[in-house]
């Protein structure tokens, strides 16, 4: 969570597992493109920094943040990625539309994590105004894309560690 006390881009690189064989799907909302492309840049650069091969990073666009869930489902069903990152930005307006979109995407991504038993990372900014979004897309609070990429690597590693552990346990 971005606060005055935390920068989204600050983390200990030594806590990030090896990621050279990781395949990552990234779904990017076309709505608020200035923000979502900055989030993508942060995620992409962080994945590369931690050893993910550029040819194993797959980017697809969806029209808006609400469509991120279905875009992620397409990756889960039709590809061989190890983890999926969804990147979007919803800025509060004058109506309750903001609440419905944010709740729908959060619930949808949670449901996909459970349904597909794979890490699908919520990299969606939900801000009160454009400045807050800019501050969290490479501005003074860092980049939510960086945080989403680190989370994707850690959760994919955890997923494989559990699979390896459980396979060893089953053999005993």
Write out the H or E segment, with its range, that includes residue 116.
Answer: helix 97-116
The 3-state DSSP class for residue 1 equals coil
Please, are residues 148 and 123 in contact by the beta-carbon 8 Å criterion?
Answer: yes
Is 141 among the catalytic positions? no
- Give the strand pairing for 120-127 and 83-91: parallel
Residue with tokens 């550029």, as numbered in its chain: 54
Question: Residue 28 and residue 86: Cα distance in Å, rounded?
Answer: 6
Burial class for 152, CB neighbours closer than 10 Å (0-12, 13-18, 19+): buried
Please, are residues 153 and 20 in contact by the beta-carbon 8 Å criterion?
Answer: no
Q: Which residues are catalytic?
A: 97
């Amino acid at each position: 969570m971005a606060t005055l006390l935390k920068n989204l881009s600050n983390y200990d690189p030594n806590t990030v597992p090896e990621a050279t064989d990781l395949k990552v799907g990234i779904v990017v909302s076309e709505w608020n493109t200035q923000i979502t492309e900055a989030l993508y840049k942060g995620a992409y650069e962080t994945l590369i920094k931690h050893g993910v091969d550029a040819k194993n990073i797959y980017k697809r666009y969806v029209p808006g943040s609400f469509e991120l869930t279905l875009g992620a489902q397409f990756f889960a069903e039709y590809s061989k990625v190890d983890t999926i990152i969804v990147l979007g930005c919803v800025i509060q307006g004058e109506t309750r539309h903001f609440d419905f979109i944010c709740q729908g995407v959060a619930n949808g991504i949670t449901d996909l994590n459970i349904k597909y038993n794979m890490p699908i990372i919520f990299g969606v900014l939900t801000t009160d105004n454009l400045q807050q979004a800019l501050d969290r897309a490479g501005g003074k609070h860092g980049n939510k894309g960086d945080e989403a990429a680190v989370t994707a690597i850690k959760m994919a590693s955890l997923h494989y560690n559990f699979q390896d552990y459980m396979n060893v346990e089953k053999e005993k």
